[in-house]
Amino acid sequence: MQQDYLTFANENLMTIERILNDEEPIETPEVFYVGIDLGTADIQTVVINASGVPIAAFLDWADVVRDGVVVDYFGACQIVQKQISKVTQKLGIEVTEAITSYPPGTDPRISINVVESTGVLVTEVIDEPSSVAALLHVKSGVVVDVGGGTTGTAIIENHELVLSLDEPSGGRHMTLTIAGGMKISIEEAELLKRESENDRIIATMVAPVVEKMAMIVTEHIKGYAPKTLYLTGGGTLIGGFVEIFQNAFPQLKIVKLSRALYLTPLAIASYALTENRNK
C-alpha cells in the first residue's frame, strides 16, 4: 500500500512539472483544493482536483523568506496575489480558500498573514514535513524537508506526529558555498545549483553542507528507531545528496521522489483530502 502512495505521488510530481506555469485555460472542475508554499528560494501554488491530481501549478523564484521569516512582506504578498490571479484565469473560478504551511518551530501566522492578504481564507496550516508525511501515508518513519533556508525533520510513529524540528541549514547554504568556491556571484551560484543534479564538481563542493544536514537529522532522531527516511525539498536535488544520507544512515531505507522541488506544495494542497477523509 505504501508503494501505491509513492507511485501516485511520483506521477503527480511529473504532472506538475509538465503543467508548471501553464496559464492555458482548462475546464472548470467541480471541486478543487489550493496549496500555497512560501519557501526561502521560491513560492509555489499547486491546485489539485477531487482525486488529488494536479490541474494547475505556478512557481516563482523569490528571495522574500529567510529561515521561515518573511523579510519582504510586500514582495511575498505580490507573488502570491499574482499566482492566485493566474489560477483564477486558468480555472475560470474565484479562489476563496487555500491551505498553507510553515517550517517547524516558526510562527504559522507568518504564512497565514501573507496568504490572507490576498483575500483568500486559509482553512488549514500544517508544518512542511508533516504535510509530506500525510501525503505519503507514512505509518512510521522520518520525513526530512530540505528547503532553501532550513532542514526540517518530522518523526512519525503509528501514523502520529511525535516530533517536528527545524534547523537553519538548507539550499541557500549550498549556494553560498558554490559562490565562494567558484568566486562567482550568489545569483550565478544559485542558477548553477539548480542545474547541478549530475554535476560531480558541484556535488563535491557542497558535500560538507549536506553532511552537516545529515548531522542535524542525526540529532533530531536521537532516541527513536525509524526504518525509513523520506527526502523532500529542492535542496535534495543536488548531486550526491542521497548517497551522503545513505552513508550517514546505513540502517535506514532512503526514499527520494522524482521531482522533490514540487513535493511540499503538492502535499500542502493534498492535505485537504486527508482532512476530509478523517472527518
pTM: 0.88
Which of 216, 202, 122, 131 is CA-nearest to residue 168?
Answer: 216
Domain containing residue 44: CATH number: 3.30.420.40
pLDDT value at position 279?
Answer: 47
Q: Strand (E) positions, the chain?
A: 32-38, 42-49, 54-61, 65-66, 69-70, 97-102, 121-127, 141-146, 151-157, 160-167, 228-232, 253-256
Report CA 194 to chain centroid distance, whole Å. Answer: 15
* Region of poorest pLDDT, from 2-11, 17-26, 247-256: 2-11
Is 144 part of any domain? yes
- The pLDDT value recorded for residue 275 is 59
In a domain, 84, yes or no: yes
Environment class of 97 (CB within 10 Å of its CB; exposed 0-12, middle 13-18, buried 19+): middle
Looking at the DSSP bridge assignments, the partners of residue 108 are none
Q: Are residues 25 and 122 in the same domain?
A: yes
Can you read off the three cell numbers belonging to residue 111?
A: 504564512
* 275 domain-assigned: no
Indicate whether 185 and 232 sit together in one domain. Answer: yes
Residue range 110-166, pLDDT digits in tens? 899 999 999 999 999 998 888 998 999 998 999 998 888 888 899 999 888 898 888
Q: What is the pLDDT of residue 68?
A: 59
82: in domain: yes
pLDDT of amino acid 3: 65
16 and 110 part of one domain: yes
Domain assignment of residue 279, yes or no: no
As for how many domains the chain has, the answer is 2
Same domain as 244, residue 148: yes
Residues 164 and 98 in one domain: no
What average pLDDT does this structure show over 21-37?
94
Considering the domain architecture, whether residues 249 and 265 belong to the same structural domain is answered as no
- Give the C-alpha separation, 64 to 75, whole Å: 6
The tens digit of pLDDT for each residue in 152-198 reads: 899 999 888 898 888 888 888 999 999 999 999 988 988 888 887 78
Query: What domain range includes position 57?
Result: 2-127+261-270
pLDDT single digits (tens) 214-266: 999 999 999 998 999 999 888 888 889 999 999 999 999 999 888 889 999 99
